[in-house]
Structure 1
Amino acid sequence: MFTVAHRTALDPADALADTGRQALSIADALVAAFPRDTEVRGLRAVIRLGLARRPARVDHTGTALALDEVDRTRWDRELLGAGLDDATLAADGDGRFAVEAAIAGLHSVAPSFERTDWTRIVQLYGALEERWPSPSVRVARLVTTAHAVLAGEAGAGATSLTEVERELTSLETRGPAYASRDAALALADLQWRTGRREHAAQRYRDLAEVIDVEPLRRFCLRRALTPP
């Protein structure tokens, strides 16, 4: 429920139809039943931290924002603190949701996009991929690897942006629909960040034709129309 809400309802207008909050209610019930279970607490941490950061995912026009454009002062600090408490308890485990909670926690405590510990997040996505080898996890690992390389972090290893692009292209053309969309967005963003603005603009124009999540469609159009 939360994954669907996170991908399709970046700024839900109807509280009664907010499946993200409904997912949190179910997670609260699970924690009440299994308060010391690290996976249950990790699951709630992921939901809490995602909801805490949700208010900053779009601007005043309802257009989605890239991670480096987000105003972190708009995050829900109370919910953020509660999510970090859950993530701390979940850290005693090593299951899928414990790892996801650790990733969400690192994003949540980073003071800025530039000061995010990309190397550690790449490592955690590698661990998550071992536990849950989903195409979406692979895309996320590749995206964070690209950020680490662009930031010049030594921990990025020998991975090159060319390798990242090759893997993302494979997922775009042969992955399931949800991973294909994410890979296409990641490729456009990578071209944008590496100065290939004309190629990126074409990608964004193409994506705007097929993406049906309005905030994301507006984001693609904004980047497509931004001068090089």
Structure 2
Amino acid sequence: MDEQPSTCMPLKALPNKRDTLRRIAEAARCEFVSKGLADARVDDIAHAAGVTKQLVYHYFRSKEELFACVLDDSSAQAMNALVTLELDHLPPRDALRALLQRMVQPYHEGALSSLAQEGVRFHESRITPRNSFTELAPRLRGKMKETIERGIASGDFRADVDPDMLLALAALATTGAWVNRYTVSTLCGLDVARAPDADAWRRFSVEFVLSALERERSSRHPLVRDAAPLSAPGSG
């Protein structure tokens, strides 16, 4: 019996099919990153994957469907890294800082940055068959809420903050520089394609979000471009 086309890469597949899908997905990811959805060619994806164009269309009914699956795979990896992050052993400030840093970490890879920009345009005009971001979002909201509640109980965080709105703001503040590179480059001269500028944005955005939540703002992490953490009073 012939295998049926899939709306996304199946979780349970025969080993040879799984390997074929993996090679197609990897080739597609490279093609979409380098050329974007509009200019990517299924012929080139098939050639890079070592399969025929017909086989690509056997598993994925269109280039857009293949792109949606590549997006979902990238989103699933990034979200899984966030929701599985262990934070309970850390003090609330350090826990939130770790969560925010993990949020921005994947964007230091140029591939995810390019896919993110394409993905925003893609999701604005289409409904995708599967979306790991929306599926895992409740778990991420729960993790943020738990961290904030621990900080409120310890006296580190203010109590008058909506956890879901803070999470959305944190995501926009930390990762937005990669999705809107032109705006950031024009307004503050940082190009996050350069490692030093990416590090500067990551530090600034993480501390900016923390500063909105802290009950008493720590002076150890000033909100300046090239700030390194200052020594705590009495240390050194």
TM-score by shorter chain over 0.5? no
* Normalised TM-score (structure 2): 0.24
Q: Relative contact order, CA 8 A, sep 6+: which one is greater?
A: 2
* Normalised TM-score (structure 1): 0.25
